[in-house]
Structure formats: structure tokens, C-alpha cells
């Protein structure tokens, strides 16, 4: 049955069927092929996965991100990041990294980050003399910072799979996210200096920069109080997500005064569509996951790996290689939901902390978001920059290598996530 499920899913992906629909159809095909299970089991699993209170955090975090990124608050954040980074060599390019780090505390979605920041930053960077392909590569890779800096939508999904505390996962992603941001800023500086890109435009004074920083403080403290509330048990993840929406509305209405019914409706529609897409993937993966568990695939996989590879560090390396390959054709949420139930017991057999495993999987599959042939942020950034995909891919290599080095560090140095 597992073979039929996998084969049907691969065929549907080759036919360009949306991932969520593909998983539901593949599960139904596998059940019909087996013949011993009622088809109603697929519908039951689709419905059962949605009956989770923590899952309510997803739409509320998405709504908070839409409200904050679509108004003056997002503009002030972006202006502060750009004016601050313009003072350094390659600063215009580094603005993408800094802005993605800041917006990571707001949106929690790499695709949302690339879609929101790309149309603003890439044309500006091109006017400053940077190649379109380099701007696109920088945007595609920096967007992944959003899924490491809390709140992170993929980490909430991993929490649903593994039962690990969302607060622990959020805390674990901070240091790797900051290390990745620092490495990308260094690459922007190094590439700009090596190619001779000069600083462009005038630099504002310190007083004006301080004024922009003060105006950005309300948004900058949002990820801080989210972590405090979760870490000290003041509120559950779902309650924190609701509070984030209320906080975003209050800021937009009383401080920035830019929220009207039209923008509120637009934010609601964006959050609803994004939630619907993610929920369909979650429901489809639940049906597929149940069938794989029924067929004892996770247990047999753990037994096979344990009998084949005896060194724990080689098993971890093999897990990373598998996830890097899977992340190329498959988007992050379905890959996480499908392989999480398989790798969680494997990690437990190695004594690997599930929090560390969660960061490893999110970072690894995040790299797949800008890896051909189906890199979501890669295609978004390339289309915005209006440049050939092969040129963007060539510019990706320094960022890709830096991300893989960080992945190795996170895999083999537990202190980076379990501090």
C-alpha cells in the first residue's frame, strides 16, 4: 500500500496537480488499491487533523503578518533597515537580509516575505547598480530567515507532528536565524567589495536615523513579547497569535492610523487564502501519514537504518541528504508533514532532542525553497527581478554554501539550538 501511495503521489506531482490535492487523491488511490480498508478512513483522517486547538494559531499569525506588513508599520521597518544599511559597503544588498530578519518576527512565512519585500527592494537595488540576478538570489535566500526567527509557521507545524513545545522551537530557532543573517550580511559585503560596488545615495543623519528607529520599535518588540508570553506560560500559542492580531490592529488604528475597512478586508482575504492552502496540505498529509503508519513504514524505516548504518553521525548526515533532495521538488509544509512522522522516531532512536530535530528539518527544507527545480522563493524573486533563472542560480552558490555550513553546525552542535 505504501508503494502505491508513493507512486500515485509522484505521478500526480509530475502532472502538476497541487500538492494538497495530490496527497488526498494518492491516499484514496492507495486505500482503493488495498481493498481491505473503507474509503471513509481518508475522510475521517482529513477531518480529524483539523480538530486541534493549537492549529488556530496558524490563521491568526498569518493575519497579524498581513496587517503589519501591508501598512505603514511595514514601510517604517523597511525604511529604517534601508537607511541604516546604506552606510556600509553592499548596504543596499544587505538591506534584504536585515529586513527579512526583522519581518521574520512578523510574518513567519518565507513565501510571504519574498512576495512582500521583493517588489520593493529588488527594483531599488537594481537602480543602485546591482545585477538583477544577484538581487534575486539574495532575496530568495534571505526570505528563509522568516521561518527561523519566531513566530515561524513551519515550526508550529512541526510542533503538531512531534508534540514538542512551540515555545521551545521558537527559542531554538533564534540563534541559527541570527547566525544565518550574519553570514548573509558578510556575503553581501564580500561580494560588493570584490566586484567594486560602491555606496550610492545620500546618508541621513544620526538624529533622523534615531527617529526612524523609534518609529519601528512597536514592531520590533512584537517577537520579544511573543517569546516572553510563550516561554513563561503567560499564554498558549493560539492565545499569543490572537494577541498578535489585536496588537497589530491597535498599532495600525491608533499609532499609524492607516487601517481602513478596505485594507482590513484585504488582509483577511490574504490570511484566509494562505490558511486554506496550508490546511489542505495538513489534511492531505494526515491521511498519507496515517496510511504510512498503518503500513508500519516509520518503524520499518528506523529498523532498516539502524541495521544498515551504525554510526549516529552518518545517520544524521543521511537524514540531511535525504531532506535536501526531498526539498528540491517538494514544498516545505508537505515535506515537513510527510517526513516528520518518519524522522521523529528515527531521531529518538539516536537520542536526538526533538527540538534540535525540528530546527534541522525546518532549516534543511527551507534551503529547498530556493533550490531548483521547484524553489518557491527562487521563482518569486527571479520573476520580480525579470532575469533568467540560470543566472540567479549561479549567484545563489555562496548563500547556498553558507546555509549548508550552518545546517551542519546545527546538526552536530546541539548547543546552537538547545542553549
* pLDDT tens digits along 208-225: 888 878 877 887 788 788
**276: pLDDT strictly greater than 80:** yes
Find the range with the poorest average confidence among 138-152, 168-182, 196-210, 220-234: 196-210
Residue 379 lies in a domain: yes
Mean pLDDT of 380-394: 88
**175: pLDDT strictly greater than 90:** yes
**403: pLDDT strictly greater than 90:** yes
Count of residues making up the chain: 419
Residue 394 lies in a domain: yes
Same domain membership, residue 222 and residue 84? yes
Distance (Å, whole) CA 60 – CA 244:
8
Distance (Å, whole) CA 4 – CA 329:
19
Beta carbons within 10 angstroms of residue 212's beta carbon:
17
Distance (Å, whole) CA 27 – CA 10:
12
Give residue 196's domain range.
Answer: 49-259+296-416
Counts of helices then strands in the chain (DSSP H, E) = 20, 0
**pLDDT at residue 289 in the model:** 79
Residue 273 lies in a domain: no
Same domain membership, residue 199 and residue 233? yes
pLDDT digit string, tens, across residues 406-415:
999 999 999 9
Beta carbons within 10 angstroms of residue 233's beta carbon:
8
Q: Which residue has the higher pLDDT, 159 or 72?
A: 159
Same domain membership, residue 304 and residue 399? yes
Q: Which residue has the higher pLDDT, 172 or 331?
A: 172
Same domain membership, residue 174 and residue 75? yes
What does the DSSP 8-state code read for residue 199?
P
**pLDDT at residue 105 in the model:** 62
pLDDT digit string, tens, across residues 292-326:
878 777 777 777 877 788 788 999 998 999 888 88
CA dihedral 358, 221, 275, 295 (to 10 degrees): 10
Same domain membership, residue 140 and residue 86? yes
Question: Which of the given ranges, 11-20, 255-264, 351-360, has the highest pLDDT on average?
Answer: 351-360
**pLDDT at residue 106 in the model:** 66
pLDDT digit string, tens, across residues 22-61:
888 888 888 888 777 787 878 887 777 677 777 788 888 8
Burial class (CB in 10 A: 0-12, 13-18, 19+), 262: exposed
Residue 264 lies in a domain: no
**pLDDT at residue 178 in the model:** 93
Residue 106 lies in a domain: yes
**pLDDT at residue 399 in the model:** 95
Residue 156 lies in a domain: yes
**109: pLDDT strictly greater than 80:** no
Residue 265 lies in a domain: no
**9: pLDDT strictly greater than 90:** no
Mean pLDDT of 85-99: 85
Which among 119, 104, 63, 103 is positioned nearest to 274, based on CA atoms?
Answer: 63
Ordered alpha helix ranges (H), 70-165: 72-85, 91-104, 110-127, 132-142, 153-162
**pLDDT at residue 201 in the model:** 62
What is the pTM for the complete model shown?
Answer: 0.86
How many domains, the chain?
A: 2
Same domain membership, residue 158 and residue 31? no
Burial class (CB in 10 A: 0-12, 13-18, 19+), 273: exposed
Same domain membership, residue 62 and residue 92? yes
Same domain membership, residue 33 and residue 18? yes
Mean pLDDT of 381-399: 90
Identify the H or E element spanning 317.
Answer: helix 312-327
3-state helix, strand, coil in the chain (%, to 5): 80, 0, 20
> What is the distance between the terminal CA atoms of the chain, rounded to a whole angstrom?
42
Which among 267, 349, 265 is positioned nearest to 310, based on CA atoms?
Answer: 349
Distance (Å, whole) CA 57 – CA 67:
15
Domain boundary among 267, 293, 319: 293
Phi and psi at residue 125, to the nearest 5°: -65, -35
Angle at 369 between CA 367 and CA 370, to 5 degrees: 80
Asked if residue 245 lies in contact with residue 264, where contact means CB atoms within 8 angstroms, the answer is: no
Same domain membership, residue 103 and residue 32? no
Angle at 112 between CA 109 and CA 118, to 5 degrees: 130
What does the DSSP 8-state code read for residue 55?
G
**pLDDT at residue 107 in the model:** 64
DSSP string, 280-298: HHHHHHHHHHHHHHHTTHH
Same domain membership, residue 148 and residue 5? no
Residue 81 lies in a domain: yes
Angle between helices 389-412 and 312-327 in degrees, nearest 10? 150
Distance (Å, whole) CA 163 – CA 177:
22
Mean pLDDT of 332-356: 88
Radius of gyration of the chain (CA): 22
**356: pLDDT strictly greater than 90:** yes
Mean pLDDT of 121-145: 90
**pLDDT at residue 405 in the model:** 96
Question: Which of the given ranges, 65-69, 78-82, 208-212, 317-321, has the highest pLDDT on average?
Answer: 317-321
Asked if residue 287 lies in contact with residue 46, where contact means CB atoms within 8 angstroms, the answer is: yes
What percent of the chain is predicted at pLDDT more than 70?
97
Q: Which residue has the higher pLDDT, 279 or 405?
A: 405
**pLDDT at residue 81 in the model:** 81
Distance (Å, whole) CA 69 – CA 109:
12
- Listed in sequence order, the residues at least 6 apart from 210 whose beta carbon sits closer than 8 Å to its beta carbon are none
**357: pLDDT strictly greater than 90:** yes
**288: pLDDT strictly greater than 90:** no
**134: pLDDT strictly greater than 90:** yes
Same domain membership, residue 135 and residue 14? no
**pLDDT at residue 202 in the model:** 65
Same domain membership, residue 106 and residue 221? yes
What does the DSSP 8-state code read for residue 251?
I
Mean pLDDT, the chain, integer: 84
Amino acid at each position: 500500500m505504501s508503494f502505491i501511495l508513493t507512486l500515485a503521489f509522484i505521478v500526480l506531482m509530475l502532472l502538476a496537480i497541487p500538492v494538497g490535492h495530490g496527497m488526498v487523491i494518492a491516499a484514496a488511490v492507495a486505500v482503493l488499491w488495498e481493498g481491505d480498508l473503507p474509503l471513509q478512513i481518508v475522510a475521517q483522517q482529513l477531518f480529524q487533523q483539523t480538530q486541534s486547538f493549537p492549529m488556530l494559531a496558524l490563521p491568526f499569525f498569518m493575519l497579524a503578518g498581513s496587517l503589519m506588513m501591508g501598512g505603514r508599520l511595514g514601510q517604517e521597518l523597511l525604511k529604517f533597515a534601508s537607511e541604516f544599511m546604506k552606510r556600509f559597503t553592499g548596504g543596499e544588498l544587505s538591506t534584504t537580509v536585515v529586513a527579512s530578519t526583522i519581518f521574520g518576527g512578523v510574518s513567519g512565512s518565507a513565501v510571504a516575505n519574498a512576495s512582500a519585500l521583493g517588489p520593493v527592494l529588488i527594483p531599488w537595488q537594481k537602480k543602485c547598480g546591482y545585477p538583477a540576478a544577484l538581487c534575486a538570489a539574495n532575496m530568495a535566500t534571505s526570505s528563509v530567515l522568516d521561518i527561523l526567527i519566531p513566530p515561524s509557521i513551519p515550526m508550529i507545524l512541526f510542533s503538531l507532528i512531534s508534540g514538542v513545545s512551540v515555545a521551545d522551537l521558537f527559542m531554538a530557532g533564534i540563534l541559527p536565524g541570527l547566525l544565518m543573517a550574519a553570514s548573509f550580511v558578510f556575503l553581501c559585503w564580500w561580494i560588493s567589495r570584490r566586484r567594486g560596488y560602491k555606496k550610492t545615495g545620500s546618508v541621513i543623519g544620526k538624529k533622523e536615523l534615531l527617529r526612524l528607529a523609534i518609529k519601528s520599535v512597536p514592531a520590533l518588540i512584537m517577537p520579544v513579547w511573543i517569546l516572553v508570553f510563550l516561554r513563561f506560560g503567560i499564554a498558549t500559542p493560539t492565545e499569543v497569535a490572537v494577541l498578535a492580531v489585536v496588537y497589530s490592529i491597535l498599532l495600525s488604528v491608533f499609532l499609524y492610523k492607516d487601517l481602513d475597512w478596505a485594507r482590513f478586508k484585504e488582509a483577511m482575504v490574504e490570511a484566509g487564502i494562505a490558511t486554506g492552502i496550508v490546511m489542505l496540505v495538513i489534511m492531505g498529509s494526515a491521511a498519507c501519514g496515517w496510511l504510512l503508519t498503518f503500513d508500519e513504514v516509520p518503524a520499518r524505516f528506523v529498523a532498516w537504518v539502524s541495521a544498515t548504518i551504525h554510526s549516529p553521525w552518518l545517520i544524521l548526515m543521511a537524514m540531511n541528504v535525504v531532506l535536501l533532495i526531498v526539498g528540491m521538488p517538494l514544498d516545505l509544509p508537505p515535506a515537513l508533514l510527510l517526513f516528520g512522522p518518519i524522522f521523529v522516531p528515527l531521531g529518538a532512536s539516536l537520542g536526538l532532542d526533538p527540538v534540535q530535530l525540528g530546527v534541522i528539518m525546518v532549516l534543511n527544507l527551507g534551503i529547498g525553497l530556493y533550490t531548483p527545480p521547484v524553489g518557491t522563493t527562487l521563482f518569486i524573486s527571479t520573476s520580480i527581478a525579470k532575469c533568467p533563472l540560470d543566472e540567479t542560480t549561479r549567484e545563489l552558490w555562496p548563500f547556498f554554501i553558507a546555509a549548508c555550513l550552518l545546517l551542519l553546525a546545527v546538526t552536530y552542535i546541539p548547543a546552537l539550538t538547545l542553549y
